[in-house]
Amino acid sequence: MKNPVALVTGASRGIGRGTALELAGAGFDVVVNYAGNESAARQTASDCVARAAVIGRNIRAKICQADVGVSADRKRLVGFSRESFGDIDLLVNNAGVAPAVRADILEAGEESFDRMISINVKGPYFLTQLVAKAMIERADQGSSGASPCRAKIVTISSLSAYTASVNRGDYCVSKAALSMLTPLFAARLAEFGIGVFEIRPGIIATDMTGPVKEKYDRLIGDGLTPIKRWGTPEDIGKAVVAIATDAFPFSTGEVINVDGGFHLRTL
């Protein structure tokens, strides 16, 4: 039986890296996608193999440079994944960007908005389309030596999908749009046995949140989240593994909040 195959976008650092490592530990071969940091991607791939070896698993991990916001890159990424490992069992849409400069929504320009939409929305939308077609083809034809896992698509979104930040409206709009990807594809792909899920992270300790660490240390301490700690990339990765290994066989289209309870409304 071959290892199941996971394609993780934006996997060189942060949440993507943590997810790739957790999947490797669960026995997945991993395609580590990156946009620009090749050395970090190579380190992630090496660490994936090492993580699996510690628990006696033999997996493979390969890196592939691709900007998910570029059509030709998306096609090349899917082609590389299939040529390297065969059928894709799991797509993790993780790659995304934040605004280079935070700007009041009354003053913000179009350039940053267009960049957010291209990478955070258009990229995962059309990458999901490509991978979904390949998954449907596999379901129609059957695959010899296929992994026992039902095919899955997981999109990593953000609490910004429903939380207004008036100094980065472009990011919030992009994440709100991204959140619609899951119900759309869940409804379309259920007949083919493909599960589609969204994981909505809260405040996660990554390079992206490093500059605001002091601010969120204080807010978390003051009760912003009922679970009073930062989230970790591994927290997200563990949720992805649960989905990927069929812990929810009668579910699709679900949003899983991994946010320390931030989404709860209390009096």
135-165: b (≥16 Cβ within 10 Å) or e: bbebbeeeeeebbebbbbbbbbbbbbbeeee
* Pairing assessment for the beta strands 255-258 and 152-156 based on DSSP bridges: unpaired
Burial class (CB in 10 A: 0-12, 13-18, 19+), 222: exposed
Give the residues across from 156 on adjacent strands. 199
Contacts of 152 (CB under 8 A, 6+ apart): 89, 90, 91, 194, 195, 196, 197, 243, 244
Catalogue the active-site residues: 171
**Could you please report the per-residue DSSP string of 58-102?**
---EEEEE--TTSHHHHHHHHHHHHHHHSS--EEEE------SS-
Q: Which two tokens stand for residue 23?
A: 């999947």
DSSP 251-266: --S-EEEESTTTT---
The single-letter DSSP state of residue 38 is H
Q: Which residues make beta-bridge pairs with 255?
A: 198
Q: How far apart are CA 34 and CA 132, in angstroms?
A: 21
